[in-house]
Structure 1
Amino acid sequence: MKQGKVWLIGAGPGDPELLTLKAVKALGQAQVVLVDDLVAPQILAYCPQARMVKVGKRGGCRSTSQEFIQRLMLRYARQGLCVARLKGGDPCVFGRAGEEVRWLAEHGIACEIVNGVTAGLAAASLCGIPLTLRGVARGVTLITAHAEDGSTPDWSALATSGTTLVVYMGVTRLEEIRACLLAGGMPGATPVVMIENATLPQQRQCFGTLAGMIGDAAGFGLRSPAVLVIGDVVAHAVRGESAERDTSPIERCA
């Protein structure tokens, strides 16, 4: 029997219009789609011919184990099928693509990655925020506040890195993030925006400061999925058409 293939496809942050043409093409070829929780339902319209298998993974919720997902990919590929592993955002940005590609290669399965727009980039853009800005931020750091082994980032080093911080999976660790960045020397007046449900009709965002981040989040009712953008570039947000969408009300925290 001919061996199948696995595509690791980034579905983007939610808005179906941010899906790449290559992703649409790959989904059109897929016979089985292993779909994550955060994938917008409208995106599944591009693969009506495929069998859908939900393999949701969300923090704080009952999730499909990574080992089981990998076994499913292997099983279907060995049946000669074209398998799409459809993930929110980009597979290579906190999407475990690296370990999946390596695991599939060890088992002799062909695999190809199709990049997607990661939530941190799209969220900032929709708020009119340039993540890098000449004379303000010399780089951007994408970081997760949640590590599988329980370790924490070196927030002190990040506090003085001179880069814009885009923090994923940080909603439950706001107090730790704030305290460690302040202890590391980041000024309390550093601008912060917390962006919930990036690019979706229910997107909300709350602008504030590092010092006031905990109270702001509580008053705003911040919930996952959300990303935090921390740095001076937040103060340079431009109120353009993308940042003033009727479906994405902007709130400024006191």
Structure 2
Amino acid sequence: MTSFLLRLCPVGLAVLLWEWVTLSAGSPFFPTPYDIAVRAAQLWFSSPLLTERFWLDAGPSLARALAGWLAGALIGVAIGLAAGQWRAAAGYIDPPVQFLRSLPKPAIVPLFLLVFGAGDVMRVGLITFGCVWPVLLNTLQGVRSVDPTYLDTARAFHIPAARRVVRVVIPAALPQIVAGMRVTLSLSLILMVLSEWLLADDGLGHFLITAQRTFEILDVWAAVVLLGLIGYLLNVAFLAVEKRVLRWHHHISQGAS
């Protein structure tokens, strides 16, 4: 309990400093944290738990972000395993991967609009496209760094190639795969907001850009704070799952140290 309170101290100090600065500035473009919290409560947290408006704004956004994140992770892991296992495949995969991952994601939006239209397919596709590359590269690095002794032992026991991948390669590369997925979790929220700025009629990105265009400054700040809160809670949930899935890895690391 004490350590939890100590971790909250920097947050509390930051909020107090923010409150003091905004009160001193007296600018309508920089509302106080109290005003932002009140407005966020009116919009999304006035009911016993969450308002209907919350599910209308945040529900579609979360669905798109998580769908694109999961799709990107699956594709990245699949390609990374193939390229890491077979050097010949890596030679063909590496040039297009390096080219595609270097493309600025906002520059891809017009192309996705032309190809997929302005619906959810475009939005989930854009998020997937952005999330593939960190997971792919982490998976590739993880597969290539598997201890050769593990693979030699598996071959010595005549374990089939497919089973070696499932029982040896994937567990050994899993810490780096999970690290790539954690990085892309926040990236999926960024791309979700970007995709909802264009021709969307729901979602937090649509709410944010509409508030900006109508000069609802308090709503803009409330949306930004809600996005940060959602990102924080998703990260906490992911870390809890990671700790459980990689419990064996943490035990090995602590034993080695």
TM-score > 0.5 by shorter chain: no
Q: Which of the pair has more CA radius of gyration?
A: 2
Q: TM-score of the superposition, structure 2-length normalised? A: 0.22
Greater share of helix residues, 1 or 2? 2
